[in-house]
Amino acid sequence: MPIIQARKELTRLPEQLGPAAALTVTRRGKPVLAVMSWDLYESILETLEILGDEEMAIALRQGIREVANGEGIPWRQVKKELRL
Give pLDDT tens digits for 39-80. Answer: 899 999 999 998 899 999 999 999 999 999 998 888 888 898
CA-CA distance, 1 to 30, in Å (whole number)? Answer: 10
Average pLDDT, the chain: 89
Q: How many residues does the chain have?
A: 84
Q: Is 64 in a helix, a strand, or coil?
A: helix
CA-CA distance, 16 to 6, in Å (whole number)? Answer: 12
- Pick from 45, 16, 21: nearest CA to 34: 21
Position 21 scores a pLDDT of 83
Strands (E), 29-68: 30-36
Confidence of residue 84 (pLDDT cuts 50, 70, 90): low
